[in-house]
Structure 1
Amino acid sequence: MSFLVEENPAKHRFEILVDGALAGFTAYLPRGAVRVFTHTEVRPEYQDMGVGAALVRATLEQVREQGGRVVPQCPFVRAFIERHPEYADLVVTPV
């Protein structure tokens, strides 16, 4: 099984493809260099396979490479960051 995570700026989300098929996404609201993550969804047939974690990990890596920051309003993204403190430096508090 191969994963590919790509940003879809037109839809304000990062999408994960599994073997070429759209398996899920994490949606955000753009606020300059900050992305406010609001919702993460994985299609039922891809749940419990690590797809959500792979999606969020790759998304956060891409945000870091772009010099961006995040506001994890989405419970899934927030929980992922709490379990992986190496991404805590990306979090900003909304004003």
Structure 2
Amino acid sequence: MQLDIRHNETKQRYEAYQGEQLVGHLDYEDLGNAALLTHTEIDPESGGQGYGSELVTGALEGFRQQGKLIVPQCAFVTSFLQKNPEYLELVHPNQRGQLGMEERENR
């Protein structure tokens, strides 16, 4: 079952719902033209089903639609980005080298 990813601007986070049950969230801090991605959490009972990746994908697409760059601080998001370089353009240029992604950008 695909998750419903919702942007909760008030709490500055993206939330993942399965039906009406909240199964995870990705927290961020709004920096104006960028977002600092601070924490991703999936309910332990819902773990191992790919929900984390689905949540991060939905959040990144949301930031793309808003025209925001991202500054990943969360280890899960960093790992996701390293496996999914198609989202590299969303990472703030100053952060790309720190993620070990600079080389991929030029390929």
Relative to the length of structure 1, the TM-score reads 0.94
CA contact (8 A) 1:2 1:19 kept: no
Aligned equivalent of 1:12: 12
Q: Distance in 1 between matches of 2:52 and 2:43?
A: 10
Measured after TM superposition, the shift of residue 66 of structure 1 is 1.3
Q: In proportion to residue count, which structure has more helix?
A: 2
Match of residue 103 from structure 2? none
Structure 1: distance between partners of 2:60 and 2:22: 19
Deviation at 1:49, TM superposition (A): 0.3
Q: Partner of 1:32 in structure 2?
A: 32
Letter in 2 for 1:25: H
Q: Secondary structure at the match of 1:10?
A: coil
- Percent identical pairs in the alignment equals 38
User: Aligned with 2:36: secondary structure?
Assistant: strand
Q: Where does 1:1-95 land on structure 2 (aligned, <5 Å)?
A: 1-92=1-92, 93=94
Please give the root-mean-square deviation of Cα atoms over the aligned residues, in Å. 1.0
Q: By percentage of residues, which structure has more strand?
A: 1
Instruction: Normalising by structure 2, report the TM-score.
Output: 0.84
Runs of 4+ deviating beyond 2 Å: none
